[in-house]
């Protein structure tokens, strides 16, 4: 980013006196953590549940901030730094991100969906990096704070920006879309996610496709045809919608999952008249959906077959997303980053596919933010698990009774227990008396199921050494 303090203040609609010595200076960066501030930075005071950034403004100036964005006067900074006043600092940060986006010549691609957003974003950015300089969100910084902060960290000289957008309330996509104004939109799927805020599946489809209202009419929207509500909303709202399918519905873009071994899955892509087969360290049909969305978008943006292949082979997912390791006879799948009904169903079926005839154990956390449908959705998960023939299920969180009822609906004969503390979990796991197989860990982020992964792998490593 290369903006002067005056340009930034104007873009944000801020008032306040800018120190004469700072008026022509460029902002070196934008920070919300006073400890990370360096010389020339703009410090944004964000109020929060536990901390209020306004209380750390003086520390930020001590560390070199040339200006502070605040929602109230800060007399203690008089003659020390410029204070830019706005009604809402988060909204102003979004305006600054939008202004910076308007100044770049990069092709901006926005990626959303109910599951696999980060995976698709990482794959697409990896492919486009084979074509030209590409910037992307850091990890899954995909909300009204993370998106503009990531954008303001881009140089503006890149050829492509790939931005993942996540929502949980009806207004979220309008705010994010107004900041990003993408040239291309990618909507990979929808599922019963964040129902407390979005209501139902049609509400999810409607709110996801709000992104298309902000997509440039000269661009394209790449949308899965395999979700009827999503496809209907998209084609109604945006004239240049391109269909994707892993179920044979698209004439241009199709992907197939060809099966897996413990080192990964085999996939086939068809992009117009181009066919590509790959073996990648991912598992399940849903990864075919992710890579198709990435490959199809990149294909239309000029990536050739070899660039697509190299990009997909080089792509690396953030931690706790379907990472598989073999420890002490067990294939341990760490998919603990988050969970919702769509991603949970996919992960369970994928783990069963990998297990084949070997034992399958599931260590699952509650799926949260599902509103009044939570119990029934956990019961449906139980039915899904019963159909896999899993040997054991450990569950952490609310709705254990609903999950157990779903298992009973499917006449399941395995072992079910609520998960003890992570520290005591290995003892409970040992009581299964199984010497190996596949164990899947997954749950909503707040259940912190990665603690169970660490506890079990530490124990299995100890058993192996013994």
Distance CA 247, CA 249 (A): 6
The residue behind tokens 């999503």 is 230
Longest distance between any two alpha carbons in the chain, whole Å: 76
Dist CA 80 CA 65 (whole Å):
10
Q: Which residues contact 147 (CB under 8 A, 6 or more apart)?
A: 97, 137, 141, 163, 165, 176, 179, 180
Count other Cβ atoms within 10 Å, centred on residue 140.
18
Q: In what order do the strands lie in the sheet with 41-44?
A: 29-31, 41-44, 67-70, 82-85
Rounded to whole angstroms, the Cα distance separating 140 from 125 reads: 13
What is the rounded end-to-end Cα distance, in angstroms, of the chain? 55
The CA distance from 188 to 170, in Å, is 18
HSE value, Cβ hemisphere, 13 Å, CA-based, for 276: 26
The answer to whether 199 is a known ligand-binding residue is no
Q: Measure the CA–CA gap between 439 and 391, rounded to whole angstroms.
A: 10
How far apart are the C-alpha atoms of 111 and 41, rounded to whole Å?
A: 29
Confirm or deny that 245 is annotated as ligand binding: no
Q: DSSP label at 367?
A: P
Distances in whole angstroms, Cα of residue 110 to Cα of each of 162, 222, 306, 319: 6, 10, 24, 22
Cβ–Cβ under 8 Å, residues 294 and 312: yes
Does 116 appear as a known binding residue? Answer: yes
- Residues at the binding site for ATP are 113-119
Known binding-site residues equal 113-119
């Amino acid at each position: 980013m290369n903006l002067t303090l005056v340009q930034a203040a104007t873009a944000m609609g801020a008032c306040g006196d800018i120190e004469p010595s700072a008026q022509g200076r460029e902002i070196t960066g934008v920070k919300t953590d006073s400890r990370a501030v360096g010389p020339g930075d703009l410090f944004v005071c964000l109020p929060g549940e536990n901390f209020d950034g306004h209380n750390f403004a003086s520390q930020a100036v001590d560390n070199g901030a040339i200006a502070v964005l605040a929602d109230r006067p800060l007399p203690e900074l008089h003659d020390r730094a410029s204070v830019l006043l706005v009604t809402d600092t988060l909204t102003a940060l979004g305006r600054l991100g939008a202004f910076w986006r308007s100044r770049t010549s990069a092709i901006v691609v926005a990626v959303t969906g109910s599951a696999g957003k980060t995976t698709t974003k990482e794959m697409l950015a990896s492919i486009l990096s084979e074509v030209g300089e590409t910037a992307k969100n850091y990890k899954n910084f995909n909300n009204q704070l993370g998106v503009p902060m990531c954008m303001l960290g881009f140089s503006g000289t890149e050829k492509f920006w790939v931005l993942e957008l996540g929502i949980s309330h009806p207004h979220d996509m309008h705010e994010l879309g107004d900041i990003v104004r993408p040239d291309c939109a990618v909507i990979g799927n929808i599922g019963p996610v964040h129902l407390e805020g979005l209501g139902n599946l049609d509400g999810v489809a409607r709110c996801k496709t709000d992104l298309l209202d902000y997509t440039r009419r000269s661009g394209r929207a790449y949308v899965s045809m395999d979700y009827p509500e999503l496809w209907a909303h998209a084609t109604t709202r945006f004239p240049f919608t391109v269909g994707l399918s892993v179920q044979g519905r698209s004439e241009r873009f199709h992907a197939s999952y060809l099966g897996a071994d413990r080192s990964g899955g085999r996939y086939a892509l068809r992009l117009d008249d181009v066919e590509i087969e790959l073996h990648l360290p991912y598992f399940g049909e849903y990864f075919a959906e992710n890579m198709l969305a990435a490959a199809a978008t990149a294909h239309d943006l000029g990536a050739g077959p070899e660039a697509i292949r190299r990009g997909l082979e080089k792509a690396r997912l953030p931690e706790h997303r379907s990472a598989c390791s073999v420890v002490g006879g067990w294939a341990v799948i760490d998919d603990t980053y988050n969970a919702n009904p769509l991603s949970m169903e996919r992960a369970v079926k994928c783990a069963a596919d990998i297990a084949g005839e070997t034992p399958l154990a599931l260590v699952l956390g509650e799926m949260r933010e599902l509103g009044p449908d939570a119990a029934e959705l956990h019961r449906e998960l139980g039915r899904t698990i019963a159909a896999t023939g899993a040997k054991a299920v450990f569950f952490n969180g609310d709705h254990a009774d609903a999950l157990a009822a779903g298992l009973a609906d499917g006449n399941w004969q395995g072992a079910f227990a609520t998960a003890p503390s992570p520290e005591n979990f290995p003892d409970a796991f040992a009581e299964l008396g199984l010497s190996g197989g596949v164990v899947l860990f997954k749950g909503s982020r707040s259940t912190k199921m990665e603690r169970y992964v660490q506890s079990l792998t530490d124990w299995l490593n100890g058993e192996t050494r013994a």
